[in-house]
Amino acid sequence: MSDDAREEPAGAAPGPGELVIEGDMTIYRALELKELLLGALRAAGGAKAELRIDLGRVSEIDSAGVQLLMLVRHLAAGHGQVVHLTAISAAVRSVAEVLCLEDELGIPREEAAIPSPMPAGDSSGQAAQP
């Protein structure tokens, strides 16, 4: 079997309320990941635990992956559960920033990514002339 054809594990569940996602979170794995995420959400709910999803090993994410994360957070909120995304990989952070979904996904903004406010009274966006 070639390296390109090998199957990467979708994730691991160390215990109720914990899930580690590995590899790609793309349309090509959407069904697999949906089943994994919803199963982890059910297990966390049954254990009366919050669900912590470790995204530190996610190498690529597309809109399908983002939709799955939003789905899990939405379903959890509807059942009074809490989902925390942890160890956010650079790939996940980058896509969340481009789509302006950090708040929706509960991803803390990095200091460098937060634009500084403009001085009061200046709406032109240009630097003041001395």
Q: Please report the domains of the chain, with CATH numbers, ordered by start residue.
A: 11-108 (3.30.750.24)
In sequence order, the β-bridge partners of residue 52 are 18, 84
pLDDT at 129: 53
pLDDT tier for residue 18 given thresholds of 50, 70 and 90:
confident
pLDDT tier for residue 5 given thresholds of 50, 70 and 90:
very low
Task: Determine how β-strand 51-61 pairs with β-strand 18-25.
Answer: parallel
Count of CB atoms situated within 10 Å of the CB of 14: 10
Q: pTM (2 decimals)?
A: 0.70
Number of residues that this document lists for the chain: 130
Contacts of 94 (CB under 8 A, 6+ apart): none
Which carries the bigger pLDDT value, residue 47 or residue 26?
26
Nearest Cα residue to 74 out of 38, 102, 113: 38
